[in-house]
Amino acid sequence: MISVYKKLLAYVPEKKFLAFAAIFLSCASAFAVVSSYYVLYLFLQQLLRRGMPLQLGYAKVFAVLQALAVLLYFASAWLSHLLGFRLETNLRKRGIAQLSQADFAFYDTHPSGLVRKLIDDNASQTHQIVAHLIPDQAEALLAPVLVLILSFFIKWYLGVFMLLLSLLTLILYKMMVGEQEFIKEYSRLMEEMSAEMVEYIRGIPVVKIFGTGPGAFKRLYEAIRAYAKAVFNYSLSCRKAFVSFQLVFMAIPAIAIPCMLPFTERLSREDLIVFLIMAFFLTGTLFSSLMKVMYVGMYAKQGEMAVDKLEELFEETAQRRLEFGDETEFANYQIDFEGVSFAYEDENVLEDLSFTLPPGRSYALAGPSGGGKSTIAKLLSGFYQVQSGTIKIGQKPITAYSEQALLDTISFVFQDVRLFKISLYDNVALAKPEASYEEVMTALSQARCDDILDKFPERENTIIGSKGVYLSGGEVQRIAIARALLKDAPIVVFDEATAALDADNEFALQQAFAELMKDKTVIMIAHRLSAIRNLDEILVIDKGKVLERGSDEQLMAYPSLYRQLQINYHLANDWEVQYA
Amino acid sequence: MHRLYKEKLGLTDEGAKGLVKSTWASFAVHLFNFLPAFLLLYFIDVALNASAIPKIGFLAASLLLLLLFYFVLNKEYILMYDETYKEAANLRIELIEEMTKLPLAYFSKHDISDLAQTFIADIFALEHALSHSIGKLVSFFMAFVLISIMLLAGNWKLALCIIAPTLIYLGMVLLSRKIQLRKYEHYYAQLRENSEAFQEAIEHSQDIKSFRLQNQIYGTLNKKMEQTEKIHIDSERASLIPMLLGGIMQNLSLAAVILAGSTLMLRGDISLLYVLAYILAAIKMKDGIAVMAGNITELYYLSPMVKRIKEIREAKTQEGSKKAFSRFDIRLESIDFSYDEDTPVLKNCSFAAEQGKVTALAGKSGCGKTSVMRLISRLYDPDRGRIFIGDVDTRTADVTSLHRNISMVFQDVTLFNTTVMENIRLGRPEASDEEVKEAARLANCDEFIRKMPQGYRTFIGENGAKLSGGERQRLSIARAFLKDAPILLLDEITAALDVDNERKIQYSLNRLIKGKTVIIISHRIKSVKNADHIVVLDEGRVIAEGRHDFLIETCDLYRDLTEKSDLAENFVY
């Protein structure tokens, strides 16, 4: 229990005092409540001592104490809400900060929607838990103890009765919660069912189209039935204990009266009645406290799970924290891979890969998809952690350079470019904030973006993402090339589009990139193999290895893999729909 | 009550019936709850006035009460939990079956994994509410009315001391929820905005780093979060005051009974027993309300979930009856279509595709080609106009009988976490293993399937996660071979593949299309220039149609596309 608090409060150091204040207030509230019960006892005594003049003082004190208890409880709840809100905000902020540190492999393997949901949902859950946990927990734990003390204080036999009752309910409660084993089994079945349901729902369109589902759906029905059976059995197994538990509290006089029957002669009638009424009254408090303990336990567990999930994410991002050095000068732009290994999670992409790319030349990476071409390009950015080996630029490891120096030196134009929801102009100008208007417009024009501007009345001031502004993949990539042109970095990495570009776009894109290549060290991930024949060197990559390298002329001169790729490419390209 | 449950909670007939039963059982428990107090009062009466206490009588009465009460509680438990959980399977299966009746567009419009997650969470919440709160709450109010009447009949002044604070408390709870809901609109709007900004920041994280925008973007986000916290506090504060007042009122009911009771007793209006009776009643009422407060909260959280489940139940299913198709020409007549109202995608689009011939769609990206495919297969329905297959208006045909005649091979392929064999067999469920294998051979899948650890019996992971893009695509072509439907829709099926895979798919395609009515979209104009008929689309309109040679002569856009295509093809860096 304490560990949960510790974990949560670590994220709100500036508001820790709120937690203590809230605990204090809620304890004070429990005190007020229980002392009001003592006043009630005094009042009952007075009421039953017939013949004595009845004073209203006790009733008034009782009212005041009860109202005070509510006030204190609310004050405690309010403070813990404030704490909860801050906790939520801080967890989100922390999430953002952590994410900004992660390397790019993290983003490659974690869908953005899931990451956002994980942070959003769990942060908001912790707020709810803290807001309700603190006041209820302090009260739920303290109140039963105070009630027992009060019972003993009033009459020893009331104390004994309440104590026995508490023990009985604890036993019933234990029986009710059931075995740990079952809970595990239950959550396993539940997860299984949920997974099957997700798969099923995703498959519904297919099922509709084919008119029937595959055998896999039998498994969904089985999973649902297994789950339903398990909860039903659980529910059956708890019944006796839960029913008895309720019975004890609801029918307390029917238990208390028989207990007192042997002592009717020894006790005064007044004491007898006071005992019964107080027992009736105090068990109610005991009951609601126990119920609260149950809920609180559940909340605490959820809170812990929420924080654990977040911390897992934080941990993961922290492990992927990138290192940068403080070198700012590059001796030259030669690129070396020295024994580089890289894996996504447990999937090896590159293994002990070494090669050198002398500066000032253009290179094409060719080979089947999944062979490691894109990975090589991505690793150059310095935003990935390699498992082993060194990547060097200008004979120094890329980790030796400052982040800014690396960013200034390499331009990337990848396929999945996303534009910011700002104006087209600003999207380009980002690459060089000090650029003049003319520079930006020249870059746009060189990147063959004029026809894109022509599409919109606002031209370069068109806001991306606003109504009716649609850019195709090829158009977005051209704008990315405009950025790179403006940035004018000495090394350019380009991932040629494979996606369904219409011919119009593709040609424009090719021209734009040809513009960008001028006087640079170029690394291109090639898909249109016909276009790379004039590049200085071609590296054929498959299974994370450089299998062949050389100019087009050299590689075409013998039965190389490259030659086979080129032949296949032309066959595929010349394919035509044929029919009988 | 039955109808109310059905309407308000979106329950089935069975479900509502069960809930009515459990409500009555809870009602009995609420009433029984007051019996021990009567026993106690009777005992007090005897203890105050009689000289001897009939021990055997009280013992017997106590035991009888315990026994009866146990019986009632047990019954309530059975009806409330056992019945709900017995229904747990039925509720899910029933809702899932409802889901399969939703129009295909519903799945295209919603993010499917999101939809599934929400759906699962909703069912759990509904299940919990069904077993824990709803029956209890409704029966509590029924019992409350009955008990109030009884209390009023005894002594109306004391009764009011109990009833009035309770009513005020309940009113305050409702009022604070109302305030909260209203205030929360603002808060939720802000939350949504934050989520979007957050999502965008995550999606852009690589660009943010590349352009060193961290401080700017994350700074704005942080500010947004802080602002949200303020709004949240404001909205919570607004609902706090009525809750506080309500809570105080509720706690004061006992004090009020004590004060009023003793005053009345002092005046000699009522006896001691009366005072004690109302004190006991006040205690019981207070304990009962404390439990109910939690149930009310649960119900408030439930309403959006019930709304979503109801939405699924009530979503318009695609109409249409079983139709027999005899001809397979496809004809679009003046189709208008848009995904959202602002941006029309197809405008007055008409063309025909002849039976047994290949028709290609050409045009720039975003011109509406893919939408045409979606409309023919009724993944969406057009806003205006009609689509005929043979002489059947597709709108009058149910989706199943329509799809019996259409094979679709699109860019994204949905696969299931089962064996390769079953995934292909989906194309024609009654096909034998041999037929499945034959289809796989025709689709050039045989080779890679045999390389898998258990061949055709290999499980391929959730949504076929263990397969590459090319392999997925080939499986989907195998399905189409197996299905052998007279109409074939092919949308950019090789666009994202490497050369090897593309070649393999091309081989099988030429076999697949024989004798079928084919509509094809390809980014390589060249590959479809042999098509019998080419339809050129521009901004959602058909601007020209005919054979390649004719279009080259007459259609500027087509000629331009072909020329650019050649230029791109012959381009050398």
List, for residues A12-51, the tens digit of each pLDDT value. Answer: 888 889 989 999 999 999 999 999 999 999 988 888 876 5
* Residue from the list A214, A231, A370 with its beta carbon closest to the beta carbon of B426: A214
Worst-scoring range by mean pLDDT, B50-54, B106-110, B274-278, B329-333?
B106-110
From chain A residues 522-561, the ones with a CB under 8 A of any chain B CB are: 524, 527-535
Q: B205 falls in which pLDDT band (50, 70, 90)?
A: confident
Q: A404 falls in which pLDDT band (50, 70, 90)?
A: confident
The pLDDT of A465-484, averaged and rounded, is 83
Token pair listed for A224: 């649902």
User: Above 90 in pLDDT, residue A368?
Assistant: no
Identify whether the C-beta of residue B89 lies closer than 8 Å to the C-beta of residue A228.
yes
The alpha carbon of residue B3 is apart from the nearest alpha carbon of chain A, in Å, by 26
The pLDDT of residue A180 is 65
Q: A580 falls in which pLDDT band (50, 70, 90)?
A: very low
Check if A86 contacts B (Cβ < 8 Å): yes
Asked whether the beta carbons of residue B499 and residue A214 sit closer than 8 angstroms, the reply is no
Task: Give the pLDDT confidence of A494-539 residue by residue, as tens digits.
Answer: 887 655 567 778 888 888 888 888 889 999 988 888 888 889 999 9
Cβ-based neighbours of A445, under 8 Å, separated by 6 or more: none
3-state helix, strand, coil in chain A (%, to 5): 65, 10, 25
- Helix ranges (H only) for B204-318 are 205-210, 214-266, 272-314
- In chain A, what residues touch B86 (CB-CB under 8 Å)? 228, 232
Q: Which of B545, B554, B549 is nearest to B362 (CA)?
A: B545
Q: Which of A265, A290, A256 is nearest to A158 (CA)?
A: A256
Check if A430 contacts B (Cβ < 8 Å): yes
* Residue in B with minimal Cα distance to A507: B568
Task: Give the pLDDT confidence of A190-208 residue by residue, as tens digits.
Answer: 888 888 887 777 777 777 7
Task: Give the pLDDT confidence of B323-361 residue by residue, as tens digits.
Answer: 788 889 999 999 999 887 777 889 999 999 999 899 999
Output the CA–CA distances (angstroms, integers) from residue B398 to A506, B107, B312, B353, B374, in the order listed. Answer: 41, 17, 19, 21, 15
User: Above 60 in pLDDT, residue B249?
Assistant: yes
- In chain A, what residues touch B70 (CB-CB under 8 Å)? 243-244, 247
Angle among Cα B208, B212, B215 to the nearest 5 degrees reads 90
Count of other CB atoms within 10 angstroms of residue A543: 14
User: Above 80 in pLDDT, residue A291?
Assistant: no
User: Above 90 in pLDDT, residue B315?
Assistant: no
What ipTM goes with this model? 0.78
The alpha carbon of residue B330 is apart from the nearest alpha carbon of chain A, in Å, by 18
The alpha carbon of residue A331 is apart from the nearest alpha carbon of chain B, in Å, by 22
The alpha carbon of residue A339 is apart from the nearest alpha carbon of chain B, in Å, by 26
Asked whether the beta carbons of residue A412 and residue B210 sit closer than 8 angstroms, the reply is yes
Q: What is the rounded CA–CA span in Å between residue A557 and residue B528? A: 33
Q: A152 falls in which pLDDT band (50, 70, 90)?
A: very high
Tokens 């408030």 belong to B300
The alpha carbon of residue A481 is apart from the nearest alpha carbon of chain B, in Å, by 14
* Residue from the list B119, B221, B379 with its beta carbon closest to the beta carbon of A201: B119
Average pLDDT of chain A, as a whole number:
85
The alpha carbon of residue B467 is apart from the nearest alpha carbon of chain A, in Å, by 11
Output the CA–CA distances (angstroms, integers) from residue B245 to A133, A432, B242, B249, B430, in the order listed. Answer: 22, 60, 5, 6, 68
- In chain A, what residues touch B423 (CB-CB under 8 Å)? 214
Check if A346 contacts B (Cβ < 8 Å): no
The alpha carbon of residue A577 is apart from the nearest alpha carbon of chain B, in Å, by 6
- In chain A, what residues touch B366 (CB-CB under 8 Å)? 470, 472
Task: Give the pLDDT confidence of B25-63 residue by residue, as tens digits.
Answer: 999 998 888 889 999 999 999 988 888 888 899 999 999
Check if A499 contacts B (Cβ < 8 Å): yes
Comparing B76 with B306, which gets the higher pLDDT? B76
Identify whether the C-beta of residue B344 lies closer than 8 Å to the C-beta of residue B367.
no
Angle among Cα B548, B549, B554 to the nearest 5 degrees reads 95
User: Above 70 in pLDDT, residue A143?
Assistant: yes
The pLDDT of residue B469 is 77
Task: Give the pLDDT confidence of A193-249 residue by residue, as tens digits.
Answer: 888 887 777 777 777 777 665 555 677 888 888 888 888 888 888 888 889 988 988
Asked whether the beta carbons of residue B526 and residue A565 sit closer than 8 angstroms, the reply is no
Q: What is the rounded CA–CA span in Å between residue B262 and residue B278? A: 11
Identify whether the C-beta of residue A322 lies closer than 8 Å to the C-beta of residue A385.
yes
- In chain A, what residues touch B266 (CB-CB under 8 Å)? 54
* Residue in A with minimal Cα distance to B468: A370
The pLDDT of residue A54 is 65
Q: B508 falls in which pLDDT band (50, 70, 90)?
A: confident
pTM: 0.79
- In chain A, what residues touch B491 (CB-CB under 8 Å)? none
Q: Which of A210, A269, A481 to mutate to test the interface with B (most CBs of B within 10 A)?
A: A210
Task: Give the pLDDT confidence of A58-82 residue by residue, as tens digits.
Answer: 888 988 998 999 899 999 989 999 9
The pLDDT of A468-484, averaged and rounded, is 85
Secondary structure of B72-103 as H, E, C letters: HHHHHHHHHHHHHHHHHHHHHHHHHHHHHCCC
User: Above 90 in pLDDT, residue A575?
Assistant: no
- In chain A, what residues touch B414 (CB-CB under 8 Å)? 202-203, 205-206
Identify whether the C-beta of residue A313 lies closer than 8 Å to the C-beta of residue A119.
yes
Asked whether the beta carbons of residue A257 and residue B279 sit closer than 8 angstroms, the reply is no
The pLDDT of residue A498 is 58
Secondary structure of B180-205 as H, E, C letters: HHHHHHHHHHHHHHHHHHHHHHHHCH
* Residue in B with minimal Cα distance to A508: B568
Q: B70 falls in which pLDDT band (50, 70, 90)?
A: very high
Identify whether the C-beta of residue B365 lies closer than 8 Å to the C-beta of residue A501.
yes
- In chain B, what residues touch A412 (CB-CB under 8 Å)? 210
The pLDDT of residue A579 is 54
- In chain B, what residues touch A476 (CB-CB under 8 Å)? none
The alpha carbon of residue A215 is apart from the nearest alpha carbon of chain B, in Å, by 7
